[in-house]
Structure 1
């Protein structure tokens, strides 16, 4: 299996400008990277002040590239309205010629990203919102008629077009069973918090128990200075290089991007 290489970019600090993100994505494509994925946050603690909107950045990436896969990695569905997210995702898929990957997850309230804005702080409730939201979102993206009424979301006899193809990757922390089961029903699993490549082998084994579809992606991210050799033959289909989140130096970011995978 060929492991594809991508960038996992926090649009913070000097990168909190969609024009800069577009420039970096164009440079990444020229340097041979396969993907360009963006963090989706409203705030990230006291050390980060400037943050760019991920959807505007994704549009910039779509317009500045022709080959790269890209998308939010990941957007917390429980703070989104599935009907709005479906329109945004479909538009980005059309804009990019079906290169858009929709990364979704539970989200983390560690820095008050939910509670500070009156959104749901309880992770168990957010888990139920994520599951229901996925049902609504995927139904809307199918192009079929949707009639849903649930505890968190409604879609009353509606149909969404266009209905372009897009992979859905789910994120979850290593060792948590629910995110792995959830991801196995979709197109990929972005595994957070691996201590080493042996953990990745455990993930691959556990995923196999849930019989994911052919072409299922297993995604990990590493620091720019980490040795890749121990990771590339352990079953990951994507290995991302992390950019950020703290003390980002734009010149250093450009060096990492231009060096290629």
Structure 2
């Protein structure tokens, strides 16, 4: 059975990189087990093969690490946030994710994006870095994934993907499908990612800074993002990444209450391999989430 909401319905996750200090799968599992024991609802990983061409940090394979996390825990959700789906073959992703959903008893989340960098996610491996081409492949691959997860026979003749009378059994535990959360950046010069997120099960909103970096939205930005998002189904997830101070619980709880009022359904405490001390990850994992 899939993991159920805790508390008042707002859920809390740790969003960890798969690089640097966090490239050790055993360490990631230990963090996840500590987080589960203290009341967190999820532990999620970045999904990069490279971070950039100059920074030679060690990296762990995200899906192998996610498998270890979900096999080594009993309650929390886990998954990639986010996988550059245009980099993958959708039939292989369908088989892997359905199997992992069974391993976890229905606790997998599938995060999807176009890829943070056309250079390191695509061009470095001889793949087309063009954003429009990536978007077309993501949309077609998601449609194929959804059909393969159904357990019914699938034939498909598309621009990017072709299948001939393929049936994948067993289907995932979760019905009607494994939840698909789509990354979308703001300001939305291209409305495609928000429209894509509205067609699936949730959004992971990020704000693009003037220097090109990404961060989670503040509360006013989150309100604007949701106002610009097309109509979506009931139960749609809004998973907001951000950083709180573990040594100031009252302020953290007040900020969380404001995000919940703005429309967040998940808070993702965000870590990177460069600027944030890993001791904060252990502190949050040990003390539990800042529930209002």
Measured against the shorter chain, the TM-score band is over 0.9
Secondary structure of the 1:101 match is: strand
Matches within 5 A, 1:124-135: 124-135=132-143
Q: How far does residue 247 in structure 1 lie from its aligned partner after superposition?
A: 5.2
Q: Secondary structure at the match of 1:148?
A: strand
Q: Secondary structure at the match of 2:94?
A: helix
Q: Is the 8 A contact 1:37 1:71 kept in 2?
A: yes
Do residues 9 (structure 1) and 29 (structure 2) align? no
Q: CA deviation at 1:248?
A: 5.7
Per-residue Cα deviation, 1:89-131 (whole angstroms, up to 9, x for no partner): 0011000000001111111225522101101110111011111
Residue 115 in structure 1 maps to residue 93 in structure 2: no
Q: Say whether 1:241 aligns with 2:256.
A: no
Partner of 1:186: 200
RMSD value, Cα: 1.7
Following superposition, the deviation at residue 218 of structure 1 comes to 0.8
State the alpha-carbon separation in 1 of the partners of residues 42 and 78 from structure 2: 6
Unaligned runs of 5+ in 2: 1-7, 208-215, 246-250
Task: Indicate the residue corresponding to 2:163 in structure 1.
Answer: 155
Equivalent in the alignment of 2:227: 205
Corresponding residue to 1:217 among 237, 243, 247: 237
Q: Give the TM-score of the pair, scaled to structure 1.
A: 0.94
Alpha-carbon distance in structure 2 between the residues aligned to 1:205 and 1:247? 32
How much does 1:245 deviate?
A: 2.9
Aligned to 1:258: 286
Question: Aligned ranges for residues 11-26 of structure 1 at < 5 Å?
Answer: 11-26=18-33
* Deviations 1:59-78 (CA, angstroms, capped at 9, x unpaired): 11111111101100110110
Post-superposition offset of 1:257 = 1.5
Q: 2:21, 2:273 within 8 Å by CA — same for their partners in 1?
A: no
How far 1:232 moved relative to its partner?
2.7
The match for 1:167 among 159, 176, 179 is 179
Give CA deviations for 1:42-82 in whole Å, capped at 9, x if unaligned: 11123451110011111111111111011001101100000
In structure 2, distance between residues paired with 1:110 and 1:163:
32
* Inter-CA distance 72–195: structure 2 relative to 1 (3 Å threshold): closer
CA distance in 1, matches of 2:187, 2:151: 35
Alignment equivalent of 2:77, drawn from 58, 69, 93: 69
Number of equivalences: 259
For residue 262 of structure 2, give the secondary structure of its aligned residue in structure 1. coil
Tell me, yes or no, if structure 1 residue 85 matches structure 2 residue 85: no
